[in-house]
Every structure is written in structure tokens, then in C-alpha cells.
A and B are shown apart, each in its own frame.
Chain A
Amino acid sequence: MSHEILRAEGLRKTFPGVVALDGVDLSLRTGEVHVLLGENGAGKSTLIKILSGAYHPDGGRVLMDGRPVHIRSAGDAQRLGIATIYQEFNLVPQLTVAENLALGRPPRKFGFVDVKRMEQRARKLLERVGVDVDPRTPTARLGIARMQMVEIAKALALDARVLIMDEPTAVLTTSEVARLFAIVRQLRDEGVSVVFITHHLEEIADIGDRVTVLRDGRSVAEVPANTRRDELVGLMVGRPIDQQYPRPAPDRPAERGEPLLEVRGLTRRGVYDDVSFEVRAGEVVGMAGLVGAGRTEVARAVFGADRYDSGQVFVRGRRLPPGDVHAAMEAGLGLVPEDRKAQGLVLGADVAENLGLVTMRDATRAGFVDRSGLRSTAARVAEQLGIRMTGLSQEVRTLSGGNQQKVVIGKWLAANASVLILDEPTRGVDVGAKVEIYQLVNALTAAGDAVLMISSDLPEVLGMSDRILVMARGRLVGELRAAEATQDDVMALATMEASHVR
């Protein structure tokens, strides 16, 4: 049991302008789940990219079974039995599940792909991870949770002895997480060693055996997984975090302001049905539900990014034309989308450009953009949000997740949006930046703005909202007062109605 399968010693890696790893040790035993913990930018991604052959360390060494190894490519890692499952899956959506599982080395007969044997093998692998999918299904038709299972099956197909999982639970619902954990435990018992990255502290004791904490590119501690949560947070950020959810309890709920956003009977056939709610000045309204319940779709429709079949959206009592982002913006709406890299940021542009994306139109006189004016606004917003960067000219691509998210929020601050829709605002964001984002939400609502916050993170919804709307299967199934609700209340609504509708 105590056999050490993989060991990293004093790993160092620098990029132009940044030291990403500055002395990282990691010791992985056979048949353990080893949690890697650290804020975004602490070096977790760099470490796993070194172990999977995507990066080469500038210093230090990696040993497997006590022998030094050089992992120069993904092929090397594969031969050594190291498989990595990234947050962005490595599946070809157009191919079937079986084809993905056999990608690159399908079984052959007379030079042709032996489809029957390929599907047989796939069936066995899928059985092993306990997922009920026909191998002939096109991968694109699977939900995220099942795609992840297919990824795990793919790793097993390569006889992986070390399985690295980068935030596998970030996109899963509670019940899906439970299934994932069951499979991870089963693999562990079969002798597979798992490196598990997560931002959800409550998962650590549940799934992990030991924890290595990274901070600022160094491994600062190796502790048992049942270490107290506040202690872990302290190790991670190097300072205590007073309050994880700093939202003050609404002492006088009657004092809530006028409704800034009103949605009436919003319907898009087959996606969401008769959704009505309002968000008042000074209020944070949380929107909970399972992935696929239609929350993001409603948010995008409200913002004018997508069309809807019927219903109305009002901002400060004025009706918004459907499908018109520009009109929504003019009315004071802002959307921080679910996927910041694909929808929120121009990754190749710098911080100043991104912060000025929304305000650029207003900074234009006779066709000419006042770029220096935009830049000084950007400087002010960056200062206000505490964006950690080398300067306004740093490419957004090279910022950490939390700082990228601050940039997306910042472009709406620059535009003085009065109703912010935040879709999974802290997904993939480290603890320190999370609290900063929460404080910002509090500051905005204290100043009389309104926030609609979609989140699959139940403690966050409960901790940061004043009211919680629960969606299931495209319908609004309940409203709870956050101060009185529990996680179980929310989940009961989100899942019960789902089975009822089905």
C-alpha cells in the first residue's frame, strides 16, 4: 500500500515573465487519491502538464517506481501509464463513443477497422466505469457527466496506473459527483493512483487520502485529507479568510427597492416554459437547479443573446425588444457568461482592450475611439477590482482564472450596468478571488444595483443570495428565502420536479 509509484522532486518551470513552479514536490502512492489543492495560479495546471508531458521542467526530476523518467511528450506519459483528464475533454464530438475509445489505435482486420471488436471493447470499458451508454452513440449527444465517464474509460483503455483529473467535479451536479466518486474509489481499490484537483474543499475529506497544497508555485504542505477545512484554506492562501460568504443578512427585507428586472412568462418551446420573476434594486437573486434545467438559456434570452417564443422582459418598467443585446445593454443589463474564455473574453487582447469592450461604443466620437480615455477607465476598474496583472497591456490569456473573471465583470462595471446577470461567476475561481467577487456583489447591491446569480454551487447560492429561484426541466419550480433554506430544500425542488415532469 505504501509503495510510491510516482515522485516529483523540486520541479521548477519558468515562462517569460513568470515563475510558474518554484520547487514543487509530490509523492503519489499506489492506490491512493491524492488531492492537489491551491488557488488559481498556484501552479497546479503547470504541474500536471509536466506530468503529462505537455511541458518540460526547467529543474527538478520525476521518478516512477523509484527510477528517474523523462516525460517529453504525451506519448511518453502514455507509455509510462500516466493519463490526464483535462477540464476541456479530448473527445472528438463527431465520432461515436466506441471510436473515441479506440482513437488512434482501432482494432484492425485485413487493414480495415474491425468495428465489431472495437464496439465490444468499448462496451467492456464502459461497463467497468459503470456507465450505461451504447458505444455507437455519437459522443456529441452525451451530457458532460457521461463524456467525463467516457474520458475515464479512455484512460483505462490505455492501462493507466496514474490518473490525473483536473477539476472533474466543476461541471457536475451533486448526484453526478457521487457517481464519479464511486468510480474513483473503485479504481483506487483496483490499485490505480489518482491525482485529483478540486476547488471544492468539502469534497476533499470525502474522496481524498492525502492533500498536497501548492501556493505561489511551491508545495507548502502535505497533509491528510481529513485536515480541517479552515486549516486547508489557511495553507492555500497563506492568510486566514474571515468569512467565506460575506453577504450580510437582510435585516429589513421590506426595504428592498423597486423592481429593476422583471421577466414575465418567458417561453422557448422545449427549452424553458413560462418563467416569471423579478429582481429588485439592492437584491441578489440566486438561481439554482441542475445543469440543463434551462437557467443559462433564460439568462441569455433575458440579455437578448438568444430569441424566445413568447413572454416579456422589462428593465425599470420598460420593455426590452427580444434578441437585441444592444438594447439590453443600453437599458443597464450586463451578462457575465457561463464560459468566460469562449464567451466573455478576447483572450488574445490585453486587459485594457477587454475592459473597454462594452464602453467602446460610448467612447466613440465621429467614428474615432478615445482609446486613452478607455485606458484610464480600465485602470480605474482594474484598481477597484484588484486585478493582479503586470499591467494593462498584459494579454488576458495569461491571467489566472479568478483575474480573468474579474476582467469580465469589470467591463460591465466600466459600463455602469445596473442589473448584472452572473452565470456561474466563481466556477474555476480560487478561494481568494471568490471572496473578492462576493464582496464586489455586496458593494454593487449596497449601491442600489441588482444581481441575478446563476450557480450550481449550493453553499454559494445559499450564502450569497437574498432569494433563491429553483429551476427544473425548464420551469421555475420554487422560490426560497435564502436565510431559511437548506441545501436539501433546494435539491429537493431541483430534482423532485424533474422526476415528476419526466
Chain B
Amino acid sequence: MSADVLPRRSPAAAWLAENGAVVALVVLVVALSLLSADFLSLTNLLNVGVQAAVTAILAFGSTFVIVTGGIDLSVGSVAALSAISLAWTATSAGVPWPLATLVSLAVGVACGLVSAALIAYGKLPPFIATLAMLGIARGLALVASEGSPIAMPDAVSELGGTIGTYLPIPLIVMVVMGVIAAVILNRTYPGRAMYAIGGNEEAARLSGIKVDRQLLITYALSGGFAAVAGIVLASRLASAQPQAAAGYELDAIAAVVIGGASLSGGKGRALGTLVGALILAVLRNGLNLLSVSAFWQQVVIGVVIALAVLVDTLRRRGTN
């Protein structure tokens, strides 16, 4: 197309079009601060951050998978199983807590590897492989814990606390995991390969990218991130619960999608996912402050997810 190039959109307008989720978050925050006097207090905002942390960490892991064009339904169950593994090895088996933490991370990674093996070598659709893992991990968590909560080692439970008076540690973990996710996606070979695979798996394969191996890495990362999320969640409650984080996988997927990723793959960013997770947390918190019933909250969140993707789709149709 050797045609005259139209005047470009201003950089600001282009940024806004690319970052609709950020705009939505700002609008939401402004609106809620006008509607509720309590919303903009430091305590409340930090509380929102803590609420967002577990979802965000799970969602960072899911971002890897969704960028490859896959889906991971097992992250909630894997989070619970990892936390149970930590608590059980530290408490019942008497293993020192640093080692128990490593075991817990290894369990998360192993779950991801099993899903990935089913997908890459067994040729199962990611939906089915991770649906199976959702059941398996939850079941193992219940078996290992015999259905009851297990106390977390005190040293690890510190993770649920604060530094000084204010700064919640889950918030810091969330930011650190977010930076790690961003660096992996933008700077590392596996990260760039995820985009290529999600964009066109066959082209990636014919360009020498070992797709099977990269999928193993992708789902292992998702499992590892789920383990971290599980540990953070358990340390906030000071106990690992086998039923914890049930349904969180859907929040994680919602956060990734609200953040601008495409379920068909090849698109998605860590920052977008963070914003997506914050939108969900701000919304829940705001609706609580406004005394909206928990039943209606589900309706609102459903509508927001639909709207977020709808706006994105319409915007893209406009540019094509």
C-alpha cells in the first residue's frame, strides 16, 4: 500500500486506546471516591491492594499461558495444593520452613509440568488438561490435609503481615511477581517464544522454536506463580486450607482479559493483568462500601468482564 500516510494520532490518544483498562481503573477510583467517603483512605486502599494480590499473582501466571493461546483452569486448585504441601511438610513432617517452601513451589511447578505434558505430548486441548488438573490438585489437597486446615509455620505466616505499620507484604510480593512476569514476557527467550506460539504456532515451529519445550516452561511458570499465590493466601489466614482459592482461576482469567490480553493468544502484558486484577478488587471493595449485596456484586462483575472485552473488540474492529 503505497498510499499517503494519514496524520498519526497523537501519542497520548494512541496510549489511551492501547490502555483502556488503565482509564477504566482511574474512572472507577474517581467515581468511588466521590460516592464513598471511606474509599480514598490509606487503610482502605492498602486493603484493596492486599485483596488484589492473590488474584494478581495467579493472573500473572495465567498471562503466560493465555499469551501462548492456552488456558489454565487449575491455578486455584494448584495454589491450595501448594499451600497444603508447605504446611504439611513443615508442620506434620517437621521439615524446616525454607525447605518446605521449596517443596511447595516444586509441587506447583510439577502440576504445571503435568498439564503441559498432557497438552504438548498427549495433544489434549489446554482446557481439558487443566480441567483435569483442577480436579486432581484439589483432590490431592483434600487427601493430604484430610479435609481440615493445617497451620502454617510462623516464619512463613509473616508474609501475610506488614512491614512497619502500614506496608502489607502481600502487596510487595505482588509487585515483585509482576516485575518478574514483565521481565520474562519482554526480555527472555521463553517469553518471546510465548508470543510467537500464541500468534502462530506453526510459524513458530517452522522457525525452529521448540514449541513443546516452551509449553512445558509456560505451564510450569503458571504452576509456580500459583504456588506463590497459594502461600500468600495461606499466610494471610495463618493456615493452609484445602478448599482455599476455589474459583480463583476464573478471577485470574478475567483479570488477564480485562487487562487487554486475547484468549486467542499472542497478546497480553503483565501491566495490563495487574490493572485487570486491581479493577476487580476495587470494584468488589467499592461495592462493599456502598453496601451492595454480594449477590448483585456478582452481576456487576459479570457485566464489567463482558464490557471490557466488548469495548476492546469494538475498538479493534474500528481500526481494521
Q: Which of A's residues lie within 8 Å of B, judged by CB?
A: 14-20, 22, 41, 216-217, 303, 305, 325-326, 329, 335, 337, 342-349, 353, 357-358, 360-361, 364, 367-369, 371, 388, 390, 398, 400, 411
A-B contacts, 12 listed (Cβ < 8 Å) = A17-B5, A17-B6, A337-B206, A342-B200, A343-B200, A343-B203, A346-B199, A348-B199, A349-B196, A358-B208, A361-B209, A369-B188
| Chain B hits for A371, CB < 8 A | 186-187, 192
Complex contact B187–A369 (CB within 8 A): yes
**A346 touching B208, Cβ below 8 Å:** no
Rounded to whole angstroms, the CA-CA distance of A400 and B1 in the bound complex is 7
Instruction: Tell me if B79 counts as interface (CB < 8 A to partner A).
Output: no
Chain A hits for B320, CB < 8 A: 15
Contact in complex: B189, A17 (CB < 8 Å)? no
Is A22's CB under 8 angstroms from B3's CB?
yes
B residues in contact with A343, CB < 8 Å: 200, 202-203, 206
Residues of A within 8 A of B146 (CB): none
Whole-angstrom CA separation of A17 from B192 in the bound complex: 27
Q: Is the CB of B192 within 8 A of A360?
A: yes
**Least CB distance, A105 to chain B, in whole angstroms:** 27
Contact with A along B169-213 (1 / 0, CB 8 A): 000000000000000001111111101100110111111111000
**Distance, CA A371 to CA B186, complexed state (A):** 9
B165 CB–A CB distance under 8 Å: no
A329 to B319, CA, bound (A): 37
Residues of A within 8 A of B200 (CB): 342-343, 345-347
Besides A18-B5, A20-B1, 4 more A-B contacts (Cβ < 8 Å) are A18-B3, A343-B202, A344-B203, A398-B1
A361 near B189 with CB under 8 A, answer yes
For B138, list chain A residues within 8 Å (CB): none
B2 within 8 A of A: yes
B266 interface residue (CB < 8 Å to A)? yes
Partner of A349, one of B3, B189, B266: B266
B266 near A346 with CB under 8 A, answer: yes
Complex interface residues of chain B between 1 and 39 (CB less than 8 A to chain A) = 1-6, 8-9
- Report the bound CA distance from A106 to B11 in whole Å: 52
Could you say which of B8, B192, B209 has the most chain A C-beta atoms within 10 Å of its C-beta?
B192
In whole angstroms, how far apart are the Cα atoms of A345 and B203 in the complex?
A: 6
Q: B: which residues have CB within 8 A of A?
A: 1-6, 8-9, 186-193, 195-196, 199-200, 202-210, 266-267, 319-320
- Give the interface centre of B1, B4, B6, B209 by most chain A CB atoms within 10 Å: B1
Contact: A20 with B209, CB < 8 Å? no
Alpha-carbon distance between A14 and B209 when the two chains are bound, in angstroms: 37
Question: Among the interface residues B193, B195, B200, which one has the most CB atoms of the partner chain A within 10 A?
Answer: B200
Closest to B195 in A: A349
How far is A18 from B1 in the complex, measured between Cα atoms in Å?
Answer: 7
Cβ contacts under 8 Å, A357 to chain B: 196, 203-204, 207, 209
Give the complex CA separation of A217 and B3 in angstroms.
8
Which residues of A lie under 8 Å from residue B193 when comparing CB positions?
360
**Residues B5 and A390 in contact, CB atoms below 8 Å apart:** yes
Q: Is A367 a contact of B188 with CB atoms below 8 Å?
A: yes
User: Taking CB as reference atom, which chain B residue is nearest A330?
Assistant: B208
With known contacts A364-B189, A388-B2, A346–B196 Cβ distance under 8 A: yes
Whether B3 and A19, one on each chain, are in contact in the complex, defined by CB atoms closer than 8 angstroms, is yes
Contact yes or no, B206 A325, CB < 8 A: yes
Q: Across the interface, do A358 and B207 meet the contact criterion of CB distance under 8 Å?
A: yes
Q: A216-B3, A349-B195 are in contact. Are A368 and B206 (CB under 8 A)?
A: no
The CA-CA distance from A15 to B3 in the complex, in Å, is: 10
Among all A-B residue pairs, the 7 with the closest Cβ atoms: A346-B199, A19-B3, A357-B207, A364-B189, A329-B208, A41-B1, A346-B200
Check A326/B203 contact, CB under 8 A, given A16-B6, A16-B319, A367-B189.
Answer: no
Are A326 and B208 in contact (CB-based, < 8 A)? yes
For the complex formed, measure the closest distance between the CB of A44 and the CB atoms of chain B, giving whole angstroms.
Answer: 12
Nearest-CB distance from A393 to chain B (Å)?
12
Residue of B at shortest CB range from A342? B202
Q: Which residues of A contact B188 (CB under 8 A)?
A: 364, 367-369
Residues of A close to B191: CB separation below 8 A: 369
- Whether the pair A325, B192 counts as a contact (CB closer than 8 A) is no
Question: In the complex the two chains form, is A361's CB within 8 Å of B267's CB?
Answer: no
Cβ–Cβ < 8 Å partners of A364 in chain B: 188-189
Residue of A nearest to B208 (CB): A329
- State in angstroms the CA–CA spacing of A58 and B96 once bound together: 71
Are A360 and B189 in contact, with the CB atoms below 8 A? Answer: yes
With both beta carbons as reference points, the residue of chain A lying nearest to B210 in the complex is identified as A326
Minimal beta-carbon separation of A3 from chain B (angstroms): 34
Task: Please state if B206 and A305 are interface contacts (CB–CB under 8 Å).
Answer: yes
B-chain residues with CB within 8 Å of residue A335 when the two chains form the complex? 206
Instruction: Tell me the complex Cα distance, A388–B210, Å.
Output: 31
Cβ contacts under 8 Å, B202 to chain A: 342-343
Contacts of A326 in B (CB 8 A): 208, 210
Bound state CA distance, A15 and B200, in angstroms? 25
B205 surroundings in chain A (CB, below 8 A): 305, 325
A349–B199 contact, CB under 8 A? yes
